[in-house]
């Protein structure tokens, strides 16, 4: 799908509670443009628990169910099975979770749903920490990053959990990484996920201006630098096919440019930046990108 073909129709109401420059709000807006009105959103605790609005208002024009933190994939399984039993199998049941609800507390339910090949779409908008509670480290926080629970930087011995491959090892119908900063790639992947049958997973990198210590106007730029530096690789895997990188920069920029663009990395010394660059290079080599 060419993103210029996307209809000028909104499924998000004006006046949501997202911070200025929030990647998660922007991602939902565009995801729904592809998914359309036959979509039900299941939402565990996350920034979106607030973005969605305070009773009696709501930010969404599609059915939405808020659920406890660890339960999104299981609740969505129940919703989808119910709809199938009602004879309405054409409804997109979508988990919309943050990195905490996906990489950490929701991982068991996610793995269970993926293993059972539940016919749901699981979207993780990853802003790389518990942002809603005030920027605490998650297992999606990259090494070196400042958070309020890693005040001197996330220990280098840690490595950001590789959700793409964790989910891919369940052999789902579709798994992809994306970011709304590359809208054509983003739309293409949501379109593929929508049209596939079975378990589908999209990992979105989602900038958080307060948590990443960037200006709200620089949100899209930060997400682009992540991709251009190779810190975040845009790729996908359809069932039965190899991993495919869907966007490769002409030339990767140094990770330093991505890191020092953000306040959360500004304390890093040269050795640490070099170590991060080495790890990124190794990963890019593994993917035949270097």
Partner 1 sequence: MVKDMVLGSEAVALGVKLARPKVISAYPITPQTHIIERLSEMVDNGELDASFIRVESELSAISAAMGASQAGVRAFTATSSHGLALMHEVLHWIVGARLPVVLVNANRAIGSPWNIWTDQTDSMSQRDLGWLQVYCETAQEALDTVLQAFYVAEKVLLPIMVMIDGFILSHTLEEVVIPTQEQADEFLPPYEPEYFLDINNPLSFGNAAKGDVFYNLRKDIQRSMEASFGVINEAHNRFDDIFGRRYDLIDTYFIDDAEIVFVIAGALTGTVRVAVDKLRNMGVKAGLLKIRYFRPFPSDLVRSYLTDKKHVVVLNRSLSFGSAGQITQEIKNALYFEKDKPFIYDYVLSLGGKEVFVEDIVKLALNIDSLETSKILWRE
Binding site for partner 1 (CB under 8 A): 37-40, 42, 49-50, 52-58, 60-68, 70-71, 73-86, 88, 91, 108-109, 111-112, 115-116
Residue 54 Cα distances to 31, 60, 91, 101, angstroms: 22, 12, 26, 21
The candidate with the shortest Cα–Cα distance to 258, out of 149, 182, 145, is: 145
- Of 68 and 249, the one with the shorter C-beta distance to partner 1 is 68
CB of 83 to partner 1, least distance (A): 6
Backbone angles phi, psi at 197, to 5 degrees: -120, 135
- Of 42 and 226, the one with the shorter C-beta distance to partner 1 is 42
CB of 11 to partner 1, least distance (A): 9
- Of 70 and 168, the one with the shorter C-beta distance to partner 1 is 70
* Distance separating alpha carbons of residues 249 and 228, to the nearest angstrom: 6
Q: Which tokens go with 75?
A: 């609740």
CB of 227 to partner 1, least distance (A): 33
CB of 69 to partner 1, least distance (A): 8
Cis bond before residue 56 (omega within 30° of 0): yes
Classify residue 132 by burial, with Cβ atoms within 10 Å: 0-12, 13-18, 19+.
buried
CB of 85 to partner 1, least distance (A): 4
CB of 3 to partner 1, least distance (A): 25
Describe the crossing of helices 72-85 and 107-115 by its angle, rounded to 10 degrees: 40
- Of 170 and 279, the one with the shorter C-beta distance to partner 1 is 170
* Distance separating alpha carbons of residues 226 and 229, to the nearest angstrom: 5
- Of 63 and 210, the one with the shorter C-beta distance to partner 1 is 63
Taking CB atoms within 8 Å and a gap of at least 24, the contacts of 80-84 are: 80/118, 80/119, 80/120, 83/40, 84/119
Q: Which tokens go with 104?
A: 């950490």
- Of 183 and 198, the one with the shorter C-beta distance to partner 1 is 198
- Of 57 and 169, the one with the shorter C-beta distance to partner 1 is 57
CB of 87 to partner 1, least distance (A): 11
- Bridge partners (DSSP) of residue 98 are 125
């Amino acid at each position: 799908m060419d993103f210029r073909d996307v209809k000028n129709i909104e499924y998000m109401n004006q006046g949501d509670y997202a911070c200025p420059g929030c990647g998660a709000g922007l991602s939902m807006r565009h995801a729904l443009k592809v998914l359309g009105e036959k979509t039900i959103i299941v939402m565990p605790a996350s920034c979106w628990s607030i973005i969605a609005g305070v009773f009696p208002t709501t930010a969404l024009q599609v059915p939405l169910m808020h659920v406890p933190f660890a339960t999104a994939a299981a609740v969505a399984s129940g919703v989808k099975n119910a709809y199938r039993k009602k004879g309405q199998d054409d409804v997109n049941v979508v988990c919309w979770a943050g990195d905490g609800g996906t990489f950490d507390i929701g991982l068991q339910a996610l793995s269970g749903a993926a293993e059972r090949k539940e016919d749901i779409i699981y979207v993780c908008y990853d802003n790389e920490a518990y942002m809603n509670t005030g920027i605490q480290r998650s297992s999606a926080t990259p090494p070196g990053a400042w958070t309020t629970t890693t005040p001197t930087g996330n220990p280098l011995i840690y490595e950001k959990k590789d959700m793409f491959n964790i989910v891919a090892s369940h052999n789902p119908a579709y798994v992809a990484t994306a970011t709304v900063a590359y809208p054509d790639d983003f739309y293409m992947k949501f379109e593929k996920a929508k049209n596939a049958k079975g378990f589908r997973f999209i990992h979105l990198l989602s900038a958080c201006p307060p948590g990443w210590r960037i200006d709200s106007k620089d949100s899209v730029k930060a997400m682009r630098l992540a991709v251009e530096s190779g810190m975040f690789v845009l790729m996908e895997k359809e069932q039965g096919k190899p991993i495919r990188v869907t966007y490769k920069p002409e030339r990767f920029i140094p990770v330093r440019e991505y890191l020092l663009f953000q306040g959360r990395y500004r304390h890093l010394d040269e050795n640490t930046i070099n170590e991060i660059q080495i790890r990124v290079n190794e990963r890019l080599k593994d993917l035949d990108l270097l």
